[in-house]
């Protein structure tokens, strides 16, 4: 359950209380019966990783190895398949010249 901070507008009594999302907001100070105000403060959140993306929440071993292997494999696979296609074309051209 989330913790909410309240402060009384009359006696400056401040306190924290755990409430469910479905609970009503407190409006009366338990000390003097005055009006309560909810205090909003910044949330301490730390984002780790290179950025906020869908792969940042996954395990580093599975996404890191598959992501880098897939990218590197696809890049080298394209480069590797291009030179072998050029190499067989040259020997095929040489026999046709000899036959002519």
The 10s digit of each residue's pLDDT in 62-92 is 544 444 444 444 444 444 445 555 555 555 5
Task: Say what the pLDDT of residue 43 is.
Answer: 76
Please give the backbone phi and psi of residue 15, each rounded to the nearest 5 degrees, phi first.
Answer: -155, 160
Calculate the CA 72 to chain-centre distance: 22
This prediction has a pTM of 0.43
Whether 13 maps to a domain, the answer reads yes
Whether 25 maps to a domain, the answer reads yes
Number of domains in the chain: 1
Give the C-alpha separation, 13 to 9, whole Å: 8
Task: Say what the pLDDT of residue 66 is.
Answer: 47
Task: Give Cα separations from 39 to 13, 24, 28 (angstroms).
Answer: 12, 15, 14
Whether 58 maps to a domain, the answer reads no
Whether 93 maps to a domain, the answer reads no
Whether 32 maps to a domain, the answer reads yes
Whether 62 maps to a domain, the answer reads no
Whether 21 maps to a domain, the answer reads yes
State the burial class of residue 25 (Cβ atoms within 10 Å of its Cβ: 0-12, 13-18, 19+): exposed
Structural domain boundaries enclosing 15: 3-39
């Amino acid at each position: 359950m989330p913790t909410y901070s309240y402060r009384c507008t009359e006696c400056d009594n401040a306190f924290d209380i755990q409430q469910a999302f479905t609970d009503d907001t407190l409006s009366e100070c338990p000390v003097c019966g005055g009006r309560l105000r909810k205090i909003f403060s910044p949330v301490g959140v730390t984002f780790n990783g290179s950025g906020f993306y869908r792969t940042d929440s996954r395990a580093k071993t599975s996404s890191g190895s598959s992501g880098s292997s897939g990218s590197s494999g696809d890049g080298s696979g394209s480069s590797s398949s291009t030179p072998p296609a050029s190499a067989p074309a040259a020997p095929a051209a040489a026999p046709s010249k000899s036959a002519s």
